[in-house]
Amino acid sequence: MPQVDVRGPRFGAWVTTVVLAVALLTGSGWLVAAQAVVFAVGAFAGLRYAPYGVLFRILVAPRLGPVREREPEAPPRFAQLVGLLFAVVGAAGFLIGAPLVGAVATGLALVAALLNAATGFCLGCELYLTVRRAQTARTV
């Protein structure tokens, strides 16, 4: 299983938080859409190719010193997928003329990103079990 420097996803979460905050303040659907593309690359191509991950490796990591801790890629990668869902709804809301829907979805993505950045909490990871539980409940 691919491993990533734990500081990479945290850095990415901070950048995401700032991008989404700017998007909210400017009401820019295109900025949310750009963030959605960033999420999509991380979720589908892997964190190695995630734009903020690349930024981290080139600009930030060399200044931080050696890697102290690595983690499996799966949890942060899954979180990118959850972020993508919120960002797609957010971008669509802004761009098709439902700014309130756009703002609320973007706000939810921002909460998840900020919590992850500040505390390391991974909303998507926690929701994963909830979703799997609900699926069984329906099929039983």
**In the complex, minimum distance from the CB of residue 62 to other proteins, in angstroms, rounded to a whole number:** 24
Each as own residue / partner, the long-range contacts of residues 122-130 (CB below 8 Å, 24 or more positions apart, any chain) are 122/75, 122/76, 122/79, 123/79, 123/82, 124/78, 124/79, 124/80, 124/81, 124/82, 124/83, 125/75, 125/78, 125/79, 127/82, 128/78
- Stretches 33-41, 43-51, 56-64, 132-140: which one binds other proteins (CB under 8 A)? 132-140
What distance in Å separates the CA atoms of residue 125 and residue 85, rounded to the nearest whole number?
Answer: 14
Rule CB under 8 A: is residue 29 a binding residue for other proteins?
A: no
Question: Rounded distance, CA 71 to CA 10, Å?
Answer: 12
Residue 115 binding other proteins, by CB under 8 A: yes
Among 68, 97, 129, 138, binds other proteins (CB under 8 A): 129
Q: Is 71 in the site for other proteins (CB under 8 A)?
A: yes
Q: Does 130 bind other proteins (CB under 8 A)?
A: yes
- To the nearest whole angstrom, how small is the minimum distance from the Cβ of residue 9 to other proteins? 9
The two tokens of residue 16 are 């995401």
CB 77 within 8 A of CB 47: yes
Tokens (6 digits) for 123 = 């909303």
- Regarding 72 and contact with other proteins (CB under 8 A), the answer is yes
CB of 138 to other proteins, least distance (A): 12
Residues that bind other proteins (CB under 8 A): 21, 23-27, 71-72, 74-76, 78, 99-100, 103-104, 106-108, 110-111, 114-115, 118-122, 124-126, 128-130, 132-133, 136-137
